[in-house]
Amino acid sequence: MAASGAPRPLVVANWKMNGLRRDGIDRARALVLLARNKGQIAGEVVLCPPATLLHEIRAALSGSGIGLGAQDCHAAASGAHTGDLSAPMLADLGCAYVIVGHSERRAGHGESDLQVRAKAEAALAVGLGPIICVGESEAARDQGQSVAVVRAQLEGSVPSGVAGEALAIAYEPIWAIGTGRTPKPEQIAEVHAMIHEFGKARFSGGAAALRVLYGGSVNARNAAEILSLEGVNGALVGGASLEAAGFWTICEAAGGPVMAAQGR
Ligand code: 13P
């Protein structure tokens, strides 16, 4: 991860459907204070709060160096899509990233690979960095199908002909999300290596700059080990991102001292 030539690590907080205005703003302010008091880190940090909080969190993060992202977008730029938000709307709000294809959207909203790809393309069209999520079920893992399932999701969900640095891919085994269970280090490394290989064939260039994040029960205790694995360029953090100090420990584990920072 921190090896010379590796892309700048990216740590993303996915707050999911958690937080009323007061909680979210307080948490964002606590993170800004930690960033200020503990010193800059080399990694890039992004918060993805619920859409209701994007506007106010953007103000709370102003000048802090911590970025803003959304949790989903529609594939169309505008139109008759009640309840949805478009990529241009999110860019207009100050987002730099948007998560697409999270397993909770794939399962809870029946999103297909094709829809996820269209969302990623919509994000790219307005300069938002899509964070495209992939990951196998427990049954697939038990059958030794993790790599094959994730590869098929990549084939269907990742746009082609774009530069590797324009997006990020998050490997989130479904069975590891919110369970406190994580794959063995060698299993994470195997899938990440395959994703990086996939990127070399898929992208128009910049495959070395592709950031492949691991997600699924990352916390302040296991982050250093997971983030030190070959091919792991950051983390997508759910539950542990809801507590500022613990989340900042994860950010520090990814970033190292600012002296080691490499431009994105
Ligand atoms: P947890 O960190 O709560 O396991 O969630 C992971 C996740 O789904 C992030 O997108």
pLDDT on residue 264: 32
Within-domain flag for 234: yes
Dmax (CA) for the chain in angstroms is 49
pLDDT on residue 112: 98
Sign of CA dihedral 59, 63, 66, 67: positive
- Give the pLDDT confidence of 27-62 residue by residue, as tens digits: 999 999 999 998 778 899 999 999 999 999 999 999
Within-domain flag for 261: no
pLDDT on residue 40: 75
Within-domain flag for 3: no
C-alpha closest to that of 217 among 256, 183, 252: 183
The interaxial angle of helices 54-61 and 21-38, nearest 10 deg, is 20
In short, whether 236's Cβ falls inside 6 Å of ligand 1 is yes
Domains: count for the chain: 1
Within-domain flag for 93: yes
| Torsion angle defined by CA atoms of residues 222, 71, 138 and 213, in that order, rounded to the nearest 10 degrees | -40
Within-domain flag for 1: no
Within-domain flag for 72: yes
Cα separation of 91 and 218, whole Å? 28
C-alpha closest to that of 77 among 67, 97, 92, 58: 92
Q: Which domain holds residue 175?
A: 10-76+84-252
Q: Is 257 exposed, middle or buried (0-12, 13-18, 19+ CB in 10 A)?
A: exposed
Q: How far is the CA of 237 from the centre of ligand 1 (A)?
A: 5
Active-site residue (options: 44, 74, 102, 252): 102
Question: Mean pLDDT throughout 56-77?
Answer: 97
- Give the pLDDT confidence of 216-225 residue by residue, as tens digits: 999 999 999 9
Question: Mean pLDDT throughout 236-263?
Answer: 81
pLDDT at 155 over 80: yes
Within-domain flag for 264: no
CATH (domain of 95): 3.20.20.70
In short, whether 177's Cβ falls inside 6 Å of ligand 1 is yes
Active site residue 172: yes
- Give the pLDDT confidence of 97-118 residue by residue, as tens digits: 999 999 999 999 999 999 999 9
Cα separation of 101 and 131, whole Å? 8
Within-domain flag for 260: no
pLDDT on residue 4: 52
Active site residue 138: no
- Give the pLDDT confidence of 169-195 residue by residue, as tens digits: 999 999 999 999 999 999 999 999 999
